[in-house]
Amino acid sequence: MRFGVVTFPGSNCDYDCYNAVKRVLKQQVEFIWHADHKLEPLDCIIIPGGFSYGDYLRCGAIAHFANIMEGIKKFAAKGGLVIGICNGFQILTEAGLLPGALQRNSSLKFICRNIYLRVENNKTSFSNKLKKGQVIRVPIAHGEGNYIADKPTLKELVRNKQIIFTYSDEKGRVGPGTNPNGSLLNIAGICNKKRNVLGMMPHPERCSEAILGCTDGRLIFESILKSSI
């Protein structure tokens, strides 16, 4: 399987994602420069975390105008797999590839710690190695991870089972006390209707090897790999 990792000015998790694919999955991977107009033949595109264009205006607001985004939109429209992590999630919402938006954490503080996620839908290319209701531990590191959307959009996400991950405790209980940033419905990750585009705030690439203290994130990358078999 061939992966591409997009690099914007300010991306800081691109090498982490590259390492997860190259070293952990042992798959082909290349960097994609934000100013490029064309994409090489790929199976999956990763839009990594960081602070694209310094998060000026708002997170992802400038990045979605980058040259490469037109190619990514066409890639996704044809069914190509796209995963946006943290800032990548923000970029996907700004680009209209996913509904809703991300705003400042309810605490108005940057949060960096391990949290728990409950798997709400394992019938996607990004979650098929997981079980519905399974709890995984994944780190977060963001200041604007508070997912918002209007009521019709939230109802549609629930109806279409587009909510893939929610913030929970270690036993899978979901509630205000397990919500680190104020996201509506404790949303941590969603997909589009076609289920080939995923956005998530937690960082699976930061918990994909034992040396990092946890390997739960590897299951998300392995799910992508399994989907191509």
Is 203 annotated as catalytic? yes
pLDDT in tens, 177-196: 999 999 999 999 999 999 99
Q: Into how many domains does the chain fold?
A: 1
pLDDT in tens, 28-43: 999 999 999 989 899 9
What CATH number is attached to the domain comprising 41?
Answer: 3.40.50.880
Is 13 annotated as catalytic? no
Q: Over 90: is that where the pLDDT of 210 sits?
A: yes
- To the nearest whole number, what is the mean pLDDT of the chain? 97
Structure tokens at 28: 């082909």
C-alpha distances in Å from residue 124, one per residue of 16, 39, 96, 131, 215: 23, 24, 20, 11, 20
Which of the residues 94, 191, 205, 207 is marked catalytic?
205
Pairing mode, if any, of strands 2-7 and 44-47?
parallel
pLDDT in tens, 74-95: 999 999 999 999 999 999 999 9
Which of the residues 13, 86, 191, 207 is marked catalytic?
86
Can you give the residue range of the structural domain that contains 210? 2-227
pTM for the full model?
0.97
Is 86 annotated as catalytic? yes
CB 34 within 8 A of CB 72: no
Task: Compute the distance between CA of residue 220 and CA of residue 84 in angstroms, rounded to an integer.
Answer: 12
